[in-house]
Structure 1
Amino acid sequence: MAYGEVDQLAINTIRCLATPTSPEGSVNQETKHHPNIATQHRKEFNRLTGLSIQIDATFKANSGHPGAPMGMAPISHVLFNKFMRFNPKNPGWVNRDRFVLSNGHGCMLQYALLHLFGYELSMDDLKNFRHIDSITPGHPEAHDTPGIEVTTGPLGQGFANAVGLAVAQAHTAGVFNKPGYDLINNYTYCFFGDGCAMEGIASEAASAAGHLQLGNLIMIYDDNHISIDGDTKCAFTEDVLKRFEAYGWHTQHVEQGDTDLEGMEAAIKKAQEVKDKPSVIKLTTTIGYGSKLQGTGGVHGNPLKEDDILQVKKKFGFNPEETFVVPQEVYDMYHKHASEGAAAEQEWNKLFEKYSGEYKDLAADLSRRLTGKLPEGWQNKLPTYKPSDPAIASRKLSESVLEAIYDVVPELVSGSADLTGSNNTRWKSAVDFQPPSTGIGEWSGRYMRYGVREHAMAAMMNGMSAYGTIIPAGGTFLNFVSYAAGAVRLSSLSHQRVIYVATHDSIGLGEDGPTHQPIETLAHFRALPNMMVWRPADGNETSAAYYVALTSHETPSILALTRQNLPQLEGSTLEKAIKGGYVALEDKNAQITLVSTGSEVSLCLEAVKYLKDNQGITARVVSMPCVEVFDAQDKDYRLSVIPDGIPSMSVEVMSTLGWEKYSHEQFGLNRFGASGAYKDVYKKFEFTPEGIAKRAAATVDFYKDVKPLRSPINRAFLQLI
């Protein structure tokens, strides 16, 4: 536990490297740009003179948050150099320790550490902090930067991601570890601040982690008493450790977080020894330690001024005339630890090779999972349906898919936010993921009881997916996916293969009424980039939704599923549905195209007959289970589905927002629903064959003299990025 001058030099280097600086210390007050760091490329290390890199030029002013990196430099040094096991040359090693920076605004701290330990993060990359197309964005993004595990920034999300990473480690160990083969034994570490602690998602996730007894999870709470509004005494005066103790966590407090390196090391060691509880270490720090504004809100998100930069460098032992300094001793120290991590991976590889000889099938399964590929031929298990098969609610059809594939897709881990019986997310033989000590499950269990914690469920699934051995699916009502919207957005942004099973998808849920009936929800999530929103109309479309969701490695999916029964369609097949939209009923003489989703497709098919028999109008029907997948098809195919020459009308018991991309007119519900039996609710809003036919006839009449009539697919400019 002895710490010397090199350790302090390393800590000061982290502080300076992670603190955005400016040549003049000037600030654009209008745009609140913070000064940026000036650096050199890794290949220029030959320009080292003495203990530092001499930087020839400084970088123009930019932005950043210097306070947390300066305050958390000591604990970062202790954690990364004394405890964490990783190999910068292979950031994807499965048994590496995971680190999450939940207070992601302090990301220059993490970027500095990654650079110093030898990840593929050069000095030029640091120099381009917060610049367009750099790999050092303003908050950590997993798909941009080597060594970043999860995308953080919105406070509390990273905290819940860390819980998910710990869940995935415990489950993976439960499946693959055998006597003498402790293959998966990594820890998940997470820094979080007062802002994260205030967010409700952190409370949800902390409660879940305490119940699950995740002894592999160690959180470090940056107790610096500052948030954006200033001193936390204005809004946040609770005893955080008592809260965590009530959740079932092991708690510790290191009072001298700026200087007590021995205390920090002892606390982490103690946390590692606690195997039946997650641990939180309250670390009382001084934000912006060393700055003239230390301990105040002025250093949270504001740049240091020129005179402050100079005195900080002098105080920490650096030449204030030099723009930036990384002493060679620091590189040597951190590269030595990185080499120890590489050696640990080599030992792990030897262990895995021996394991492969004794547990051949398990070894092959783990290796396959790490590639992201699904088992060969798994799709042959997907259920298919004939029109003569009985009408079934799509939530039950979803359950049938899970029942059919759970044994051939062993990485699929399902769950629900306390709605298992309604979401139909549990296959009959499923074992719950629970601490064995509870007597109600096993670490190897594949069914998650998330409790009434929709937001934490979504964020935990992001962490579970990021671990690399699990494909998580989690259920709630579609309307309450909105509770989870912050984490759902990050599923998309961070390219995680997460499946949201969202049942009770419309006014068709009936008696629970407007509080439960989603109206705007699909429009919201269809507007989200890199998200697939599926609303299947029958069994084949439900199987197609799962097929595309499971084979899309970097895109999450929302499956909007009905409570009410749906007939099996005449024209549907899995092959057609995986294109996102297809012709469910064709007629070359059609005068209108009805474009619909989910439960309204069968109503449109009934409306075709009503139109023909009562108004002499011929119609064709398009089922559009997923507009995002349909948009990815080539234009010729899309025009074959929604052609030029005849008007199209969309039909969906939701907001009409967005349907103008696929229809000339829209029949939807731009108000809240109503409580009552679902057939009565549909009748009230005229979502009946008669109501659809009436609007279809009006559409045909309105567009009869428009020649030529272009399909909505034919646009002057449609940007699909």
Structure 2
Amino acid sequence: MGLKNKLSNVLRILSIDAIEESQSGHPGASMGMADIAEVLWRNFYKHNPTNPNWWNRDRFVLSNGHASALLYSLLHLTGYKLNIQDLKNFRKYLSKTPGHPEVYRTPGIEISTGPLGQGLASGIGMAISESILASIFNRSNYSIIDHYTWIFVGDGCLMEGISHEACSLAGTLGLGKLIVFYDKNDISIDGNVSEWFSDDTRKRFEAYNWQVLEVNGHNKKEIFEAIKLSKKNLIQPSLIMCSTVIGYGSPNKEGKSIVHGSPLGAQEVELTRSKLNWTDDPFKISSKIYQEWDFKHQGKLLENKWKDLFSQYKKKYPELSEEYIRRMSRRLPESFELSIKNFLVTVQNLPENISTRQSSQKTLEIFGAILPELLGGSADLAPSNLTLWLGSKSIFKNKSGNYIHYGVREFGMTSIANGIFHHGGFIPYTATFLVFSDYARNAIRMAALMHTHQIFVYTHDSIGLGEDGPTHQPIEHISSLRYIPNLSVWRPCDTVETVSAWYYAVKRKNGPTALILSRQNLLQFSRDISQTNNIMRGAYILREYGQKIDLIIIATGSEVELAVTVSKILFKKSYGVRVISMVSTDVFDSQNSSYKNFILPKNIIKRVSIEAGSSEYWYKYTGLDGLQIGLNNFGESASGSKLFEVFGFTVKKILKRLKKFLKD
């Protein structure tokens, strides 16, 4: 066997060795895509294994993440800090080689992939970031941002609906530095996909405004030439359709669905090694092969060449270079803290009763002017979500813009924004109606899992949105979002809380934040400095009536006004009442026990929650003997005020329930 074949076969062998050692994994795609990977990584992929986070590296995303053994083999061979023992630990607890690629776990992994199609969408987000940053910072003879995004996808990725959302947008944007390799092996878990996946993929992507090339995925010369052609086209993204054989090299299992997600088995592994003329023992690789694959020296040369260019750029454009460094280092501007504190002072006495979506837009006017890294977007609802501010510029009209009209693509939008953040240089915020967060749910979960700094703006937060009816009225959505680990959920009651929520979301660097905002106008509350500061602790005492507290009312958002009004009436009837605005349950839960006991003393057992949504979540604060005033059925089509009356969110109806509760 010639060295050229060995250089791709080593990927197959290492992959099946890792899978066999683990007795778990997906050998099919790893073996089928080995030739594509070898051509790309040894001839075109710009990276530095000794510095995986070099800013101008190419980005590589394995959207069909079940082929992770292939990617780990590539990282190991090219010189990343991933040794043979790490490959032997494939899929084992806390190893650097988990079942699917996980960002921050393994050097060289750009983003977590697993749910099919999301890697493709997030990779498109990375290509969008490159395009915008290049337009902002590059100058004549100084292309300091100049890299490609390479994505591997399989049949499953292209069957997922998110692929349509994201690829349609990519074609419209003309992302010429985006190149996608489609592993067209026509096999999925259920068998030959031709029975249920008969799309003309070429025509589909050409309709999206993509360049489409077709090659034999095992013919290295064809692959090489296709990549060269793709790199020349800078006005269209490219799809290289690679016809491959799943499990290539396995005598009895190649081309069959059984090889997709199960180890080959000891006997078939031996037959495969024989067919590939591979005589070395498992996990034993010759020094010659390591030598051919090692990319550390080339990677350093590539980065050093870029550093020389950037050094010249810094001298000629010192302010631009400092701003680029700040943004890629994820540092907020020095003026941010003081500006927001001053803004909070000015909004303390806003006389107007406005919706929190309007409060959010007012906040964006201030934040947007301070934070050029804020990259906004809405799923076709900007006039309703109020995510545009005076300085918003659409990237469809201005390549250096700061706003993306995502169209009706909630899932694609959220996953694309995940990629935008993980590329670097931006804090993305995305928006839709709260009820449509269901469409984006898995990308929200991935954002939380990956500690993505993304801000979700979800407006029209309850039956208060009115006449659009139950299909548009969220009931269970706030609670269900609160159950996602590492997602911070805020439901502010007025402008001051909304500004605080945005402030928290921008400052929070270890995960996403969801801002749940009203359509209807809300009362603006006065506060002292202590109360304003305590908003950032998730819950605080907004009002307290009486020396001895008989009842604690916990409320969020639009229902805080109800809680305060009811409390005043109860106080006149000789009840002591504390009103807690619990703007963020997860932030409150993270406080120390002293503060939590101060807000919710254990000796006060009469507790009530009021939120115009699912009530079950609130038992953790009210206790089993508490009262949860919520909504556990779907809404109706009527005005918001009528629906609040019908479903019991009026002062009169709440008082009636509280009087009975206090007597029990």
- TM-score category by the smaller chain? over 0.9
Q: 2:242 aligns with which of 266, 277, 283?
A: 283
Correspondence for 1:661 among 609, 620, 629: 620
Partner of 2:584: 626
Match runs of 1:374-389 below 5 Å: 374-382=332-340, 383-384=343-344, 385-387=347-349, 389=351
Amino acid at match of 1:659: W
Q: Is the 8 A contact 2:20 2:266 kept in 1?
A: no
Give the structure 1 partner of residue 73 of structure 2: 112
Give, in whole Å, the separation in 2 of the partners of 1:695 and 1:349: 69
| CA drift at 1:552 | 1.1
Matched with 1:319 is 279
* Matches of 2:532 and 2:334, distance apart in 1: 18
Structure-2 separation of matches of 1:509 and 1:379: 34
| 8 Å Cα contact 1:612-1:618 kept in structure 2 | yes
- The answer for the alignment partner of 2:559 in structure 1 is 600
Partner of 1:74 in structure 2?
35
> Which residue does the alignment assign to 1:153?
114
Find the counterpart in structure 2 of residue 413 from structure 1. 375
| Aligned with 1:309 (options 256, 264, 269) | 269
Q: Does 1:701 align with 2:657?
A: no
2:82 corresponds to which of 91, 111, 121: 121
The percent of aligned pairs where both chains have the same amino acid is: 42
Correspondence for 1:202: 163
Name 1:571's counterpart in structure 2.
527
Aligned to 2:405: 449
SS at structure 2 position matched to 1:474: strand
Cα distance in 2 for partners of 1:501, 1:156 equals: 23
Name the SS for the 1:392 alignment partner: coil
List gaps (5 residues or longer) in structure 1. 22-33, 37-60, 435-440, 703-721
Tell me, yes or no, if structure 1 residue 687 matches structure 2 residue 646: no
Shift in Å, 1:387: 4.9
Matches within 5 A, 1:367-378: 367-378=325-336
Aligned residue type for 1:293: K
Q: How does 1:86-101 map to 2 (within 5 A)?
A: 86-101=47-62
> Is structure 2 residue 548 aligned with structure 1 residue 589?
yes
Normalised TM-score (structure 2): 0.96
Correspondent of 1:10 among 7, 10, 24: 7
Q: Partner of 1:54 in structure 2?
A: none
In the alignment, the residues of structure 2 paired with residue 20 and residue 618 of structure 1 have an alpha-carbon distance, to the nearest angstrom, of 70
Q: 1:295 aligns with which of 255, 265, 269?
A: 255
- Encode CA deviations 1:203-246: one digit per residue, 9 max, x unaligned: 10010001111001000000000011111022111111110011
Match of 1:673 in 2: 635
Q: Which residue of 2 aligns with 1:545?
A: 501
1:388–1:65 Cα change, 3 Å: closer
Give the structure 2 partner of residue 273 of structure 1.
Answer: 232
Any idea what SS the aligned residue of 2:85 has? helix
| Deviation (angstroms), 1:699 | 2.9
How far 1:407 moved relative to its partner?
2.1
User: Shift in Å at residue 183 of structure 1?
Assistant: 0.5
TM-superposition CA deviations, 1:437-467 (whole Å, max 9, x none): xxxx111100101000000000000000001
Which deviates more, 564-573 or 120-129? 564-573
SS at match of 2:30: helix
Secondary structure at the residue paired with 1:251?
strand
Within 5 Å, which residues of 2 pair with 1:329-344?
Answer: 329-335=288-294, 337-344=295-302
Q: Could you say which residue in structure 2 is the equivalent of 1:58?
A: none
Match of 1:31?
Answer: none
Q: Distance in 2 between matches of 1:701 and 1:63?
A: 60
The unaligned stretches of length 5 or more in structure 2 are: none
Q: CA deviation at 1:468?
A: 1.1
How far does residue 619 in structure 1 lie from its aligned partner after superposition?
1.2
1:592–1:696 CA contact under 8 A, matched in 2 = no
Structure 2 distance, partners of 1:303, 1:643, is: 56
Match of 2:318 among 360, 370, 376: 360
Deviations 1:154-173 (A, max 9, x none): 00000100110000000111
In the alignment, the residues of structure 1 paired with residue 112 and residue 92 of structure 2 have an alpha-carbon distance, to the nearest angstrom, of 17
Give the conservation status (yes or no) of the 8 Å contact 2:491–2:583: yes
The TM-score normalised by the length of structure 1 is 0.89
SS in 1 for 2:578: strand
2:186 equivalent to 1:228: no
Q: Deviations over 1:58-92 (max 9, x none)?
A: xxx43100000000000000001100000111111
1:123 partner letter: I
Distance 1:388 1:324 in 2: 68
Contact 2:152–2:180 (Cα < 8 Å) also in 1: yes
The 5-angstrom pairing of residues 232-271 of structure 1 reads 232-254=193-215, 256-258=216-218, 260-271=219-230
Counterpart AA for 1:606: T
How many Å separate the matches in 1 of 2:304 and 2:440? Answer: 40
* 1:379 aligned partner, one-letter code: E
How many angstroms does 1:20 deviate by? 4.3
Secondary structure of the 2:456 match is: strand
Residue 388 of structure 1: how far off its partner (Å): 5.5
- The one-letter code matched in structure 2 to 1:360 is P
Aligned partner of 2:181: which letter? I
Asked if the contact 1:649/1:699 (under 8 Å) is kept, the reply is: no
Whole-angstrom distance in 1 between the partners of 2:532 and 2:223: 57
Mapped partners of 1:458, 1:273: distance in 2: 30
**Does structure 2 conserve the Cα–Cα contact (< 8 Å) formed by 1:571 and 1:585?**
no
Shift of 1:201: 0.3
2:460/2:518 contact within 8 Å kept: yes
SS of the residue 2:245 aligns to = coil
Give the CA deviation at 1:5.
2.8
**By how many angstroms is 1:609 displaced?**
1.6
Mean Cα deviation higher: 506-515 or 325-334: 325-334
Q: Greater shift after overlay, 187-196 or 663-672?
A: 663-672
